[in-house]
Structure 1
Amino acid sequence: MVFHPPSWTRKVPHIPDDVPICDFMLQDLHGRHPLGYSRDPFTCGLTKKSYSALDVVDRVDYLSRALAKEFGWHPNQGTEWDKVVAVFSVNTIDTVPLAWAVHRLNGVLTPANAAYSADELTHQLRDSKAKALFTCLPLLSTALAAAAKVGLPKERIYLLEVPEIILGGAKQPAEHKTVSYFVEEGKSLRALEKVKWSSGQGARQVAFLCYSSGTSGLPKGVMISHRNVIANVLQIATYESDWREKLIEPGNQSAYTDVVLNLLPQSHIYGLVVICHAAPFRGDQTIVLPKFDMKQFLSAIQDFRIASLFLVPPIIINMLRNKELLNKYDLSHVRGIFTGAAPLGAETAAELQKQYPKWLIRQGYGLTETCTVVCSTHPDHIFLGSSGCLLPGIEARIVSADGKEITEYDTPGELLIRSPSVVLGYLNNEKATKETFQDGWMHTGDEAVIRRSPQKAEHVFIVDRIKELIKVKGLQVAPAELEAHLLAHPAVADCTVIAVPDDSAGEVPKAFVVKSSSAGNDDAATVASIAKHVQDHKARHKWLKGGVEFIDAIPKSPSGKILRRFLRDREKELRRKAGGKL
């Protein structure tokens, strides 16, 4: 049985497949809120530096001219794989304009998680074959170390400027050119030839190469086409268009625009598409913060009168634990929150609703492989605990473990998705692509049920993950990656990693280790050594915050597959007996 969006949703308009993202976002030809009447799309929440929509058009133009000269690239020569640019930075107001400038050159942008270690960044640079790397001063040493490992010369490392407040007095080194330098240089250069695309090219050509663990295994490059992003932006905008019309003040003929929080990592598909593309497309202003700091977060909401907060569950939990601090700030203009990247439990949502009764509490679900949103809460159809209804243009199926179609409500099975936003596949990984994308359907690896709300709308509830990924503050951690790393430690003979609950992060990794014969008798020292082994080489969200436990053997199937579910079930039972305090 195929599930469809509710009958009350509007139909998604024509999705162009012959324009790059930069033209879609920087022209008024495809339903975008008129550039001249939009709010400033990118405003720094710390310095208040801001670009209008028309400023962004010019900056992208100038930046693309200068990058063409710097790299010797021509918009209509070579393939997109000849022009891959990596970005490894905290959030900035120039990150997305840089992406659009790369698209203007018919190139690919590959964003890297700012929490990456040098080894993790090395993997992405090598796998993507990036020709240049833009970073920021706080991450420069890591970027230089990774670039050296892949042979990327220093003169191909550039800087995105960040606010002085987070630099601590450090100065931009003169040997690395900045985005501002290129913008100024581009003003004196000849305009570039327009990109010439044939029909269907937008559906075939990669725009972003985002790294995800997919349904299993080590991080893989997800090939996201221009049309994938355009499709999801139009799906999001269409889904909420009727509600936005209700917000238009009497006598005001222009469409409603919003002020939204741009805090979530711009390297993550949620921040990249939902906040950095869908919001400006609708004429919204986004207030950019480089990273989460509670006081900066609250000050930005108060100072810029932010109405819509795009968050993840750990931030919401942090807010609930700091009620006294929140009461010191004026949050009266907040209309509501939207949460994603990890499930928000109904109890947590209800607690937040009790604290802020007027807020709309909404939740969405999506993946890098679906170019973000599959379903989300409509403001007029809130059902706490659910991930909302399917967006227009998206179809879903629920399939049991033995492949049978599930047609009943409240019956769990794997969620399969069909949508124009479903991506092209994984870079240089045919096996993973065939496993995940089958017969036009994307296998999410997530267990879900469809339930009817009191308003009789079909809502998607994500029950559990069939895939083995661990979600730490919305960031993916692949057990196989950590297991492979742990096996390099001399004290580890065998191991596995599972997720354990954490009040702050949602989940954290816990390692079960079979000690090798060379392991000493001091278990505490061995645990500390194993933990340090991970901390020295992996991003913070991959650290073993759930601890290390020694066991006699790792449970496995006859074929040798690790049976993590036995350890998860054991962990749940121990926590239940301990009253959740273990």
Structure 2
Amino acid sequence: MPFTSPSYIPKLPFSPPDSVPVHEFLFGRESSAKYGRRHSLSASKPPFVCGVTGQSYSAVEVSERIELLARGLASELEWQVNEADAFDKTLAVFSLNTIDTLTVSWATHRLNGISVPISSLYSVDELAGQLKKTKCKGLVTCAPLLDAALSAAELAGLPRTRIFLLQVPEASRRGVSAPEDMKSIDQLIDQGRGTPPLSDLAWEAGRGAKQTAFLCSSSGTSGLPKNVMISHRNAIANIMQIVTYESTYQPLEPELCLGVLPQSHIYSLVVVSQASIWRGDGVVVRQGFELGQTLKAIQYHKIKRLWLVPPMIVAMTKAPRIVESYDLRSVRIAAVGASGISKEIILAFGDLLPECKVVQGYGMTESTGVVCFGNVEDAMTGSCGHLYPGYEARLIGEGGKDVEAYNTPGELVLRSPSVVVGYFQNEEATAEAMLEGKWLRTGDLMEVRKSDAGHEHLFIVDRVKELIKVRGLQVAPAELESHLLLHWAVAEVSVIPLPDERAGELPRAYIVRATGAEKGDEDALRKQLRKHVMDVFARHKHLDGGIEFLDQLPKTASGKIQRRVLKEKARVDLEARKAAQAKRLNAINGSKTDGVKRPETMEVFDLSSDEDEE
């Protein structure tokens, strides 16, 4: 049984254009008249505002900076607009959030190239691997990440002359200064002022639906990370879907929203950044989530919408006195995505910001962002909301048959103009993810339930795919397992998610030791294995859920590891530890822990650093 957006949600006003690059859709002269942009460039908020310094550029200035930066990059990289294949003009962006990060991507598109956003959490090895896989011809980074960028570029064979720097506020530079011999994005823009105009893009009809705009890393439904080919039309489609859906409750006047989520992630790349621009809104950009500074920015800029992941909401609820010391009356909506959040946390957050509505959503890189989101006009506790206009959904049950009833689980499959082209140089993974009829497998078990108003809502029941979500960031078990098996002491391993109140989930490894390692010091071996992972992978992929040694892993008769058994074991062990901890606290305090006031905490989520947390 196919599901679509409820009847009270408007349909897309027109089919997403397939012959225009995303930057022209957002900033072109015809964007208001031809594509129905809600506000002209001159009437829009500055697309990005620095949440530290307050620096910004108007929408008109950003449009000009895209063109000038494209000229500067063309000169440095020796790229011609209508020559060479797009995959021969790939430019990586490995940086903390800045007000010019997306300008780099759009300038790349202006040159008929492909933008490769890379998480600033990546280790040197991960970054080098991504540069090689995507065949990047240049790299844009920032001073705090320069050492890692230079090391990775050397491993990938990328010369220093093809590395450029984005400007970050002094407070976020970690004491690092940019070297004088490396060109900044501002210098390239100035350089562009003295170069001849570029040729127009010579696109034939339908080019935007086929040409990749962004190569974004994702683990898909299972296995190792893969690079998702997101076309220009895919990005435009999701932008249109978001803005059309929100027209039922979103004020017409432009407003400011919070931009602390990493701009390399699909959530911030499309949903927060580019959809906001299409609305005429502005994004207040910060380099990470530090509670006090974030609240200060919300208060100062009178931000109305917060784009968050669950750990950020948890941090706010655990520090009520800090939150209450700021004037947050401007906030009207807190949109939460990337992983689930409990009813109790939502209620606690509501006590802190009574005028703010919390809406939860669901999406994935392969859908170019959001699939469904809660709507303040028809809220339903625990729901991921309604499907966005332009989406068709089915639930596939056992035996591959469609689920025909409500409140019955099945794997969610999707069809939409925002569903991506496929995986870069990985036809096998593409064939596995894309079913006949251009339906995308999500790997997530869902139910469709009706609200009191009779509208269909999607509820996540379980995750079929094996991904672990740490603070909204993907961790592929297969990637960690493959690396752990390289260690001499590991014979077999399974990495599963351990529930965690702050992070959502943490990677936990169950390991069978190899011959010769069975009788050694377990604590010493744990330290070795932790370091084995820490030396190679980004911070969120470290084994913070712990390492446990087993004599054997639970398996089916056919030899497949039973991850569900291990997940249940992890859950039971976690509950036992919590009970033991509560008992100790009761003994210390001489009273029930329910009566103990939790201390105020200052939470910092450095979503943009590959350094270890203390």
Please indicate, yes or no, whether the TM-score normalized by the shorter chain is above 0.5. yes
The CA deviation at 1:500 is 0.6
Equivalent residue number for residue 170 of structure 2: 164
1:389 matched to 2:417: no
Equivalent residue number for residue 417 of structure 2: 420
Aligned CA distance change for structure 1 residues 408 and 580 (closer, same or farther; 3 Å):
farther
Q: Which shows bigger deviation, 557-566 or 481-490?
A: 557-566
SS in 2 for 1:365: strand
Taking the aligned partners of 1:442 and 1:69, their CA distance within structure 2 comes to: 40
Q: Which shows bigger deviation, 1-10 or 339-348?
A: 339-348
Equivalent residue number for residue 551 of structure 2: 552
Equivalent residue number for residue 145 of structure 2: 139
Taking the aligned partners of 2:568 and 2:522, their CA distance within structure 1 comes to: 25
Deviations 1:227-269 (A, max 9, x none): 000000001111111323xx3xxxxxxx321110011010000
Equivalent residue number for residue 9 of structure 2: 9
Taking the aligned partners of 1:497 and 1:296, their CA distance within structure 2 comes to: 35
Structure 2 matches for 1:531-542, cutoff 5 A? 531-542=530-541
Structure 2 matches for 1:297-312, cutoff 5 A? 297-312=294-309
Deviations 1:390-426 (A, max 9, x none): 0101011011132121121111110011100000000
Equivalent residue number for residue 196 of structure 1: 202
SS in 1 for 2:486: coil
Equivalent residue number for residue 22 of structure 1: 23
What amino acid sits opposite 1:478 in the alignment?
A: A
1:237 matched to 2:235: no
Taking the aligned partners of 1:541 and 1:57, their CA distance within structure 2 comes to: 35
SS in 2 for 1:405: coil
Q: TM-score, normalised by structure 1?
A: 0.96
Taking the aligned partners of 2:430 and 2:559, their CA distance within structure 1 comes to: 23
Taking the aligned partners of 1:427 and 1:109, their CA distance within structure 2 comes to: 13
Instruction: Give the counterpart of 2:273 among 261, 276, 290.
Output: 276
SS in 1 for 2:420: coil
Tell me if structure 1 keeps the 8 A contact 2:328–2:353: no
In structure 2, stretches of 5+ residues that fail to align are 582-614
The CA deviation at 1:578 is 5.6
Equivalent residue number for residue 566 of structure 1: 565
The CA deviation at 1:518 is 3.0
Taking the aligned partners of 2:45 and 2:402, their CA distance within structure 1 comes to: 46
Equivalent residue number for residue 48 of structure 1: 54
Taking the aligned partners of 1:57 and 1:131, their CA distance within structure 2 comes to: 24
Equivalent residue number for residue 505 of structure 1: 503
What amino acid sits opposite 1:476 in the alignment?
A: Q
Equivalent residue number for residue 465 of structure 2: 467
SS in 1 for 2:399: coil
Q: Which shows bigger deviation, 397-406 or 80-89?
A: 397-406
Equivalent residue number for residue 251 of structure 1: none
Aligned CA distance change for structure 1 residues 532 and 453 (closer, same or farther; 3 Å):
same
Deviations 1:491-537 (A, max 9, x none): 21211100011111000000001112232521111111111111111
Q: Which shows bigger deviation, 388-397 or 515-524?
A: 515-524
Equivalent residue number for residue 175 of structure 1: 181
Taking the aligned partners of 1:215 and 1:161, their CA distance within structure 2 comes to: 36
What amino acid sits opposite 2:506 in the alignment?
A: V
The CA deviation at 1:184 is 0.5
Equivalent residue number for residue 294 of structure 1: 291
Aligned CA distance change for structure 1 residues 190 and 273 (closer, same or farther; 3 Å):
same
The higher relative CO (CA closer than 8 Å, separation ≥ 6) is in 2
Taking the aligned partners of 1:9 and 1:527, their CA distance within structure 2 comes to: 53
Taking the aligned partners of 2:387 and 2:142, their CA distance within structure 1 comes to: 38
Q: TM-score, normalised by structure 2?
A: 0.91
Tell me if structure 2 keeps the 8 A contact 1:361–1:382: no
The CA deviation at 1:364 is 1.0
Structure 2 matches for 1:69-218, cutoff 5 A? 69-218=75-224
Taking the aligned partners of 1:518 and 1:70, their CA distance within structure 2 comes to: 55
Aligned CA distance change for structure 1 residues 200 and 580 (closer, same or farther; 3 Å):
farther
Taking the aligned partners of 2:214 and 2:434, their CA distance within structure 1 comes to: 18
Taking the aligned partners of 1:581 and 1:150, their CA distance within structure 2 comes to: 49
SS in 1 for 2:400: coil
Structure 2 matches for 1:443-458, cutoff 5 A? 443-458=441-456
What amino acid sits opposite 1:462 in the alignment?
A: I
- Alpha carbon RMSD of aligned pairs, Å? 1.3
SS in 2 for 1:242: coil
SS in 1 for 2:492: strand
Equivalent residue number for residue 492 of structure 2: 494
What amino acid sits opposite 2:26 in the alignment?
A: M
What amino acid sits opposite 2:107 in the alignment?
A: A
Q: Which shows bigger deviation, 373-382 or 269-278?
A: 373-382
What amino acid sits opposite 2:206 in the alignment?
A: G
Aligned CA distance change for structure 1 residues 578 and 147 (closer, same or farther; 3 Å):
closer
The CA deviation at 1:570 is 2.2
SS in 2 for 1:512: strand
Equivalent residue number for residue 584 of structure 2: none
Taking the aligned partners of 1:73 and 1:580, their CA distance within structure 2 comes to: 62
Equivalent residue number for residue 433 of structure 1: 430
Taking the aligned partners of 2:412 and 2:348, their CA distance within structure 1 comes to: 29
Taking the aligned partners of 2:579 and 2:442, their CA distance within structure 1 comes to: 29
Taking the aligned partners of 1:437 and 1:581, their CA distance within structure 2 comes to: 47
SS in 1 for 2:149: helix
Instruction: Give the counterpart of 1:476 among 474, 477, 485.
Output: 474
The CA deviation at 1:577 is 5.4
The CA deviation at 1:490 is 1.8
Tell me if structure 2 keeps the 8 A contact 1:6–1:457: yes
Taking the aligned partners of 1:290 and 1:390, their CA distance within structure 2 comes to: 31
The CA deviation at 1:199 is 1.3
Equivalent residue number for residue 266 of structure 1: 263
What amino acid sits opposite 1:377 in the alignment?
A: G
Taking the aligned partners of 1:198 and 1:580, their CA distance within structure 2 comes to: 65
Aligned CA distance change for structure 1 residues 130 and 559 (closer, same or farther; 3 Å):
farther
What amino acid sits opposite 1:9 in the alignment?
A: I
Q: Which shows bigger deviation, 465-474 or 151-160?
A: 151-160
The CA deviation at 1:444 is 0.1
1:326 matched to 2:327: no
What amino acid sits opposite 1:402 in the alignment?
A: G
The CA deviation at 1:330 is 0.9
Tell me if structure 1 keeps the 8 A contact 2:324–2:352: no
Taking the aligned partners of 1:17 and 1:371, their CA distance within structure 2 comes to: 15
Taking the aligned partners of 1:40 and 1:423, their CA distance within structure 2 comes to: 29
How many pairs align? 573
Tell me if structure 1 keeps the 8 A contact 2:512–2:553: yes
Taking the aligned partners of 2:556 and 2:181, their CA distance within structure 1 comes to: 55
The CA deviation at 1:358 is 1.6
What amino acid sits opposite 1:333 in the alignment?
A: S
Taking the aligned partners of 2:567 and 2:62, their CA distance within structure 1 comes to: 49
Tell me if structure 2 keeps the 8 A contact 1:16–1:227: yes
The CA deviation at 1:561 is 2.9
What amino acid sits opposite 1:394 in the alignment?
A: Y
The CA deviation at 1:581 is 6.4
What amino acid sits opposite 2:289 in the alignment?
A: F
Taking the aligned partners of 1:484 and 1:169, their CA distance within structure 2 comes to: 36
SS in 1 for 2:233: helix
Taking the aligned partners of 1:577 and 1:60, their CA distance within structure 2 comes to: 56
The CA deviation at 1:488 is 1.4
Equivalent residue number for residue 527 of structure 2: 528
Deviations 1:463-499 (A, max 9, x none): 1100111000000001111011111112212111000
Taking the aligned partners of 1:270 and 1:351, their CA distance within structure 2 comes to: 25
Taking the aligned partners of 1:38 and 1:380, their CA distance within structure 2 comes to: 26
SS in 2 for 1:402: helix
1:221 matched to 2:227: yes
